[in-house]
Amino acid sequence: MIGKLNHVALAVPDLAAAAALYRDTLGASVSEPLDQPAHGVTVVFVTLPNTKIELVHPLGDSSPLAGFLAKNPAGGIHHICYEVEDILAARDRLKASGARVLGDGEPKIGAHGKPVLFLHPKDFLGTLVELEQA
Ligand SMILES: CC[C@@H](C(=O)O)C(=O)SCCNC(=O)CCNC(=O)[C@H](O)C(C)(C)COP(=O)(O)OP(=O)(O)OC[C@H]1O[C@@H](n2cnc3c(N)ncnc32)[C@H](O)[C@@H]1OP(=O)(O)O
Ligand SMILES: [Co+2]
């Protein structure tokens, strides 16, 4: 069911410093910051030849990153995103298998303009999983 690895997301306490690290030290192609109010994050994308790294920082008072950064103040790997051909079919199959789909279970439009959903980390080996419609 899952296809390409779309991105790996790093939660970071200082977005400008993280962007500079990837741009200047690692020599990667780095986007400008983009606020995603519907998701409670500001994001910078690092484009690699075979995938992307998403640098995410809390936006607003109720960011889903708040708890993670409180526990991991230096930041860390926050989620991985896999592409799926049909996100509603994937959601229904996962729910039927007992996996917890986060939020109200309805896809939101993600940073790439495509529908996304999140799966509970306790159901996926301690890793928060994002699904994005291909
Ligand atoms: C830019 C838009 C979009 C895109 O297009 O790419 C994005 O990527 S948006 C990214 C941010 N959005 C989200 O993360 C949405 C989904 N996340 C959530 O709903 C919550 O963050 C959460 C996963 C339910 C966690 O909520 P929180 O309140 O922080 O923690 P809990 O106390 O409920 O956690 C329970 C349990 O899970 C552990 N945990 C929490 N976050 C992670 C994580 N990212 N990876 C692994 N494990 C995680 C947490 O430590 C708790 O474990 P215990 O301490 O053992 O109980
Ligand atoms: Co993401």
pLDDT in tens, the chain (134 residues): 999 999 999 999 999 999 999 999 999 999 999 999 999 999 999 999 999 999 999 999 999 999 999 999 999 999 999 999 999 999 999 999 999 999 999 999 999 999 999 999 999 999 999 999 99
Closest ligand 1 atom to the C-alpha of 7? 6
Residue 44: which domain range? 2-133
Of the candidates 82, 120, 76, which has an alpha carbon nearest to the alpha carbon of residue 101? 120
User: How many degrees, rounded to 5, is the angle at CA 91 between CA 44 and CA 46?
Assistant: 15
In this predicted complex, what is the ipTM? 0.98
How would you classify the pairing of strands 52-58 and 2-11?
Answer: parallel
* CA nearest to 111, candidates 132, 90, 88, 83: 132
> Distances in Å between the alpha carbon of 16 and those of 4, 21, 30, 73?
28, 9, 11, 16
Domains held by the chain: number: 1
**What spacing in Å lies between the alpha carbon of 96 and ligand 2's midpoint?**
24
Percent of the chain with pLDDT over 90: 100
Please state the pTM of the whole predicted model: 0.98
Three-class DSSP category at 44: strand
Q: What pLDDT is stored for residue 11 in this prediction?
A: 98
Taking CA atoms only, the protein residue closest to ligand 1 atom 33 is 67
CATH number, domain with residue 18: 3.10.180.10
